[in-house]
Structure 1
Amino acid sequence: MTSPKPRYIYKLVSSTAPVPESLPEKLPVSDIDSRSGFIHLSTAPQVRNTLHYFFKAEPIVYVLRIEYDYVENDIRWEDPDGNVCGSRGGEGMFPHLYNELKLGKDEIESVAIWKNEGGWDDALKKAESWLV
């Protein structure tokens, strides 16, 4: 686990899988999560590179904020797979949610919609106070 314990962890979701206004009990699972058997998450400091590796060309990304204490018992801290995203040295261990691939209204504290306007830097800057 990272130190100190995070307050929130984040799930980034492509705009091709829109998040409904009213969150359901269980959101659809991404292909990578389905193949892995767990839900890939990021800490606030890891979000920047996750955006650049996996969502570089996306026009919009939904960022789901999850209260860490609520899911802590189902989190495993693991190294990222270098075969999937290349080396991510210096980012530490990533939180992975092992709860039968359930992520929905019970787990998600809030949702932000970020727009890629020539890169993710503007969206990240606007979200500084939310991304904690």
Structure 2
Amino acid sequence: MSERPLLAYKVLTASQMAELEAEGTFAGAPIDLTDGYIHLSTDAQLTETVDKHFSGQDDLHVVAVDLAVLGDAVKWEPSRGGQDFPHVYADLPLNAAVAYGPLERDEDGRVRLPIAS
């Protein structure tokens, strides 16, 4: 079994990002609430996630999540294309966010990862 990443990423709308900052926690986007867990992506999965689920949306934000802070709430489960994705079976606390910022792309169209300041 390959080593799991230490960080995963959540894409939020501007209002969801404001909720996370103001409340200190985020219960999930509508799809998360429907599915019963918060969907995250690894860095290798992030651009495809944005392209598939957020196409045409503006004012998006990317949150880098420290999976160790979430502990046993993180479950790796198969999803798109049989890839394992990190799913969070709890609210996402702001203290698990090690970096966040507006969604930007590099010259190749890949989503840039937020960098902790």
User: What SS class does the counterpart of residue 89 from structure 1 fall into?
Assistant: helix
- Matches for 1:90-129 after TM superposition, within 5 Å: 92-99=83-90, 102-115=91-104, 120-122=105-107, 127=112
Equivalent pair of 1:26/1:104 in contact (CA under 8 Å): yes
User: Would you say the 8 A contact 1:66–1:110 is kept in 2?
Assistant: yes
Seq. identity, %: 23
**How many residues in Structure 1 have an aligned counterpart in Structure 2?**
115
Give TM-score, length-normalised by structure 1: 0.71
1:1-132 map, 5 Å: 3-15=2-14, 17-19=16-18, 22-80=21-79, 88-89=80-81, 92-99=83-90, 102-115=91-104, 120-122=105-107, 127=112, 130=115
Offset of residue 57 of structure 1 = 0.6
> What CA distance in whole angstroms lies between the structure 2 residues aligned with 1:77 and 1:21?
23
RMSD, aligned CA: 2.7
Looking at both structures, which has the greater relative contact order when contacts are Cα pairs under 8 Å and sequence separation is at least 6? Answer: 1
Q: Which amino acid aligns with 1:63?
A: V
- Structure with the largest fraction of strand: 2
